[in-house]
Amino acid sequence: MMAVERGEASPKGSRKPSSQTSENAQKVLAAFIDRRKPYIWMLNAFGFERRVIVDVQGISAVISGGASGLGLSAARRLATRGVFVVLLDLPASRGEDMARELGAAARFVPGDVRDEAAVEEAVAAAAAVAPLRVAVACAGTATAHKTVGRNGPAPIDGFADTLTINVVGTFNLIRLAAAEMAKLDPVGGERGVVVATASIAAYDGQRGQAAYAAAKGGIVAMTLPVARDLAPLKIRMMTVAPGIFDTPILDGLTPAQVATLREQVPHPARLGAADEFAALVEHIVDNPMLNGETIRIDAAVRLGTK
């Protein structure tokens, strides 16, 4: 989240001395190197301007699927910035342990992301501590069935569950968190941001991934209309589509299967780290021009047929 403070503009048609240009370039470089600075220098049509980064310390966030994997990494990132994080995850998850690990900056709320009452409780828990300005939807599930396999047609219950948990659960968090954000006064020109988690399977679905690809594709498809819905409220909506990441979802695979997945990644030729996903979420929170779009974070991998 940023506010803009105008710097001195160059007179129209004039050029700044080379020493001034060098000085401005040094300011840009220094601001990017030293991330502790509360601003960055950016070049626009009129010269350089200083964009002040609004400190997120003292706000709260709700993160579904926050007890493990991508969600937990996002929670850790935000907590280190002074954000109070509410981890919403299933009762059987390690949410209580993870909240205890994060300390006073976190609380665990058990519940199913499809359950309106559970999500409302998580939103209320966050808002009771500090203004809720961030929501990150990481809860999801995957199932693998060919449309017609050796045992006949794919089970419809598995298909429906995958869509409900991923699509309905994500939208449930977005709508309830955004309704709470709408009550707040804008800071730096905005009230908050919601971030959803899709997958490159939304674009490169493999055999057996009809349900998962449809679910993640649904999240990608809702991103722009939700952003447009929330724009008058000064709330942003973004989606991240991770590639092959080292998360608990790979725990069911053999080492050989994981190695096969790793070999598909061009560069860097490895599995993604959950903290790299979290770093992108953190940047989305900080950058007010990111809205209504899905960002792939996949090291240039494009999934094959199988």
Name the residues annotated as catalytic.
212
Q: What are phi and psi of 48, to 5 degrees?
A: -90, 145
- DSSP for 267-285, please give it: SS-SPBPHHHHHHHHHHHH
- Is there a contact between 278 and 71 (Cβ–Cβ < 8 Å)? no
Return the closest-CA partner of residue 134 out of 224, 73, 200, 58: 58
Strand 192-197 with 2-5, pairing: unpaired
Q: Determine contact, residues 188/132, Cβ cutoff 8 Å.
A: no
Backbone angles phi, psi at 208, to 5 degrees: 85, 0
Phi-psi region of 227 (alpha: psi -120 to 50; beta: other; left: phi over 0): alpha
CA 281 to chain centroid: 4
- The radius of gyration of the chain from alpha carbons, rounded to an integer in Å, stands at 21
